Amino acid sequence: MALDRQEIQFCNSKDEVRIAYAQSGSGPPLVKVANWLSHLKYDWDSPVWQHWLNNLSEKHTLVRYDQRGCGLSDRDVDQLSINALVDDLEAVVDDLGLEKFPLLGICSGGPVAYKYANRHPEKVSHLILYGSYGSKAPNQYSAQKVAEAKTMLRLIKIGWGRDNPAFRQFFTNLFIPDASPKQIEWYNNLQRVSTSPEMAYRIQHLLFNLSIEQFESGFNIPTLVLHSEKDGVVPLDEGRGWASKIPGARFVPLDSKNHILLNDEPAWQRFLAEIHSFIGSKPSEKSSDESEASAFPELTPRQIEVLNLIAQGFDNQEIANELYISPKTVSNHINTIFHKLQVDTRARAIVLAREAGLGQTG
């Protein structure tokens, strides 16, 4: 079932760059690192990304964000480095008060996720890398691979901002070769609306030069590495490289040639099954019932979860423990709930919640 809403908020990174992030679904948090090309609002109804957002939000509160220079985040930024990208992820996690969570890095989000996990191993319960690159140092790539990278950068510089989508379709055909005409058109447009030609060039130039060899290592976090076997953007050997360099990592090759898995291919169902098995996902019984959401349409799924636990008699610390968030974040949610429901006491909120069927423990 398609989700009908997401909650978009903003926070500031260390250098005061404004980062846009969104939450959807309900349950324990699952944080997706920003990858090259995203737009929180444009992606929401996407024929390319919608099944990702729906399925990953079914059993979790999915947290995702636009990286600096893209989407709803600040576009015109001076600082662009791997450390700045990790700072942006850190800002989102801190703004939400998340204590521990699985971390999903897709493509260029992989190196960022890996570096964040090294910086904060106490926060990352599971590390999931899909289609990621950077397992080799830049000087280890073949001459052909380097030439391909330089060609892609030139194409970005020459054709990204043009009305004619021919240049952008070159990237679309690489990322999703099995796409339908509707998906092709959408992805062509995503490239145009997500960022400027100059920023696309700067970001891609940075990402081409990322390598696991540049980062400190030594964390002991359960890691799952998945990769499409015939990926035309990031070769399968990169996935094998990640899995071989992270102690204890499990490697799962997927029967696909799409860099972004499409909803009608068996590899997508395999991807979901592997992730849910890996992180021990199970359906949330707290607040996913449609009647609860319809009783309080002004509340987000996360706020309904909090209200449900209030109605069960949980105090703020117990709610924080149950939802893997900080007590401060719980307090912020409660203040928002009281404002939206126009109540000024916990007792009155409990009455409204129980009248709507929330708070049932059996």
**DSSP per position, 121-188:** TTTEEEEEEES---SS-GGGS-HHHHHHHHHHHHHHHHHTT-SSTHHHHHHHHHH-TT--HHHHHHHH
- Residue 19 near residue 91, CB atoms below 8 Å: yes
> For residue 255, with 0-12 CB atoms within 10 Å meaning exposed, 13-18 middle and 19 or more buried, which class applies?
exposed
Longest dimension (CA), the chain: 69
Pairing of strands 7-12, 18-25: antiparallel
Domains of the chain: 7-279 (3.40.50.1820), 290-355 (1.10.10.10)
What pLDDT sits at residue 298? 83
Counting every residue written for the chain, the total comes to 362
Q: Tell me the pLDDT tens digit for each residue of 307-335.
A: 999 999 999 999 998 888 889 999 999 99
Among 53-67, 188-202, 226-240, 245-259, the least confident range: 188-202
* Lateral strand order in the sheet of 61-65: 7-12, 18-25, 61-65, 29-32, 101-106, 124-130, 223-228, 250-254
**What pLDDT score was predicted for residue 229?**
97
Position 239 pLDDT exceeds 50: yes
Span of 30-44, 146-160, 248-262 with lowest mean pLDDT: 146-160
pLDDT at 122: 94
The pair of three-digit structure tokens given for residue 88, joined into one six-digit string? 């942006």
Q: What is the pLDDT of residues 169-219, one digit of tens each?
A: 888 998 999 999 999 999 989 988 999 888 988 988 888 777 666 666 667
